[in-house]
Structure formats: structure tokens, C-alpha cells
Amino acid sequence: MKASAKQAGVKKLVTLLKKRYGKSLPKNDRPVLETIVYAACLENTTSAVADENYARLSDVFHDLNEIRVSSISELASAFTGADDAERRALKIRSSLQYIFEKNFQFEFEAIKKKTHDLANKHLGRMKELSAFVKSYTLQAAVGSHILPIDDRMCAAAIWLGLLDLSTKPAKGIDLLKPAVRKPDAPLFCHLLRCLATDEKLTYALDPDSVADAEEDFDLTTAPDRLAKLFIESATRKPTKKKPASKKPAAKKITHKKPAAKKTVKRAASKAVSKKKPAKKKVAVKKVVKKTLKKKVAVKKVVKKTLKKKVAVKKKATKKKTGRGKK
């Protein structure tokens, strides 16, 4: 599809989105570093949740340096109502560490004076930053013509027919650029975020739902499909979660089996303990018999030696008496 046809389709979509979400843009006049921190809070969530988490970070931690030296778990505790809290914390801390180690101060405003390519190159050196955080910083702080989209916004853009089904956010950022004029880019991205994070529409626009959908997403039919989705969501009943089924019988069985095993082990150990003393007694008796036999043998040897001595004495006396008689 030609860029002019895409731009015409985007205009129709923006008109419908304005009616539902309004046309006012959130204020974003933060310095570059604070913009990076806010972008990490904003990714894949609503602007309201991002504002709350950003304000909580500012309240809990004294300044950017305290955030830099804090642990990931400490930073993650500031994120509520948003997924991947630890991942967000890592993005923020790693970017602050990179800038401080390079400049020995929290100064990054000079990036505003650079061209888009040079600014993008500087942000690209922060390896932990996602494509969304980089492109959001370029749009909001540097003023580049770029459309930052995250996973949920990418899924919504696919549903609207602006991107192909297999498109990833990093690629979609570049592909959406010709379809939206530079002055309209901030508002379009804001409205696309509102659509992507609308709780009443997640059943249809969630990344998993879009990936599993069987219908063809065409930009020419997108305005009609979107109007139909708005009407459908107004009458749609929220799905109730089924309570977890209880299985008391299974629990009883699991409790009985270990007890039976224990009783068997105890009985076996008792039987072994009873047999062991009997074996010891037999062994002791054998030792006693051996010692008695040895004593008897010693006595016999002693008797023999005594008999020999007596015989020797008798011979000696006989010889003496025989000599005296002569």
C-alpha cells in the first residue's frame, strides 16, 4: 500500500480514536535523563500507571544518584500495576550508571543539539534500553520524527492493518513512520497506546489474541472493524474466573501414605534392634568359650612343666644317694 493511502487510513482511525479517548496529549517537558526513566515506566502500560510509578520513584528515592546505587529489588518495589518490574528497574539503573561513569555527573542534555542519527547512536550504547525507550526519548526529548511503539501498541497496529502479522516492535517503529506526518506523530502514538491498553478491548487487541486471530487485518476495513469493536465491548460481559476445584479425598490419601510408610519403617527398625542383641550374645559366648579353652590349655602346659621338673629332681636325688652308698 502507498504511503498516501496509509496516511488517509490513519486519519480515519485517528478521528474514531479521538471520539473515545479525547485529543489532549499528556505533558512531557522532562529533561533527557528523566525522559528515559519515564519511558521505562511507560512501556506496555497506561499513561496513568506510568505517572504513578514515576512519581513513586521520585518520592522514594532522593535523586537520580540514589536510584543509580540502589538494588534492582529496591527499584522494582516502586512499580505497581505494571509487568516486568525488575526489567524496568534494570533499564533505569543501567542507563544512569552508563551516563554517570562516562561524564561523572548526571548530564545528558547535550544530546538535544545532536542530529537524529548521532542521538540514536548515543542511546544505542545503553545496551539494556529497549527500542521503545530509545525511540520515545528521541521523539519526546530530541524532537525526532519517529513513532515509538511497544509490544502492545505493535499488536494494536497489526490489528488495524498498519503492520504485518509477523512485525516486531523494533521493526514496526520504522515501518509506521511514512504513514504518519511528523506533527501528528505524538498524538497518534498516544491514541494508539490508549487503544492498546484499554482494559475493555484486551480480549481482541492483546498480543496473544492478535497472534491467534484467524481473520485478515486490512487497513481499508479497520475503521468499520474498530467502530464495531467499540460497540461490542460496551455490551460484552466480563469473564468470570472459575473457582479452583477442591479434592479432599486426594488430600486424605496423601496424608495416609506417609504414615503407613513410617509405621513399616519403625516395625522394621524394631525387628532389627531385637535381632542385634541376640547376635551379640552368641558372639560373646563364643569368645568366652575360646578364652576358657585357652586357660585349660595353659593349665595343661603348666602341669606338664611341673611333672618334668619333679622328674628331673627325682633323677638328681637318685644319683646323689647312689654315690653315697658306694
Tens-digit pLDDT profile for residues 143-198: 999 999 999 999 999 999 999 999 999 999 999 999 999 999 999 999 999 999 99
> Is 176 in the same domain as 285?
no
Answer for the pair 121, 114: CB distance below 8 angstroms, yes or no: no
Radius of gyration of the chain (CA): 45
> Is 189 in the same domain as 317?
no
Please give the torsion angle defined by the CA atoms of residues 42, 46, 48 and 54, in that order, rounded to the nearest 10 degrees: -20
Structural domain that includes position 289: 278-321
> Where is average pLDDT lowest: 115-124, 168-177, 195-204, 258-267?
258-267
Tell me whether residue 66 is in a domain: yes
Kindly list the distances between the CA atom of residue 294 and the CA atoms of 147, 267, 290, 291, in Å, as whole numbers in the listed order: 105, 42, 6, 5
Sign of CA dihedral 112, 115, 116, 120: negative
> Is 24 in the same domain as 113?
yes
CATH number at residue 29: 1.10.340.30
> Is 288 in the same domain as 229?
no
> Is 49 in the same domain as 166?
yes
Q: What is the pLDDT of residue 86?
A: 94
> Is 18 in the same domain as 106?
yes
Q: What is the pLDDT of residue 246?
A: 41
Question: Per residue in 287-303, is it b (16+ CB within 10 Å) or e — as a string?
Answer: eeeeeeeeeeeeeeeee
Measure the CA–CA gap between 33 and 107, rounded to whole angstroms: 8
> Is 204 in the same domain as 289?
no
**pLDDT over 90 at 3, yes or no:** no
Q: How many domains are contained in the chain?
A: 2
Tell me whether residue 187 is in a domain: yes
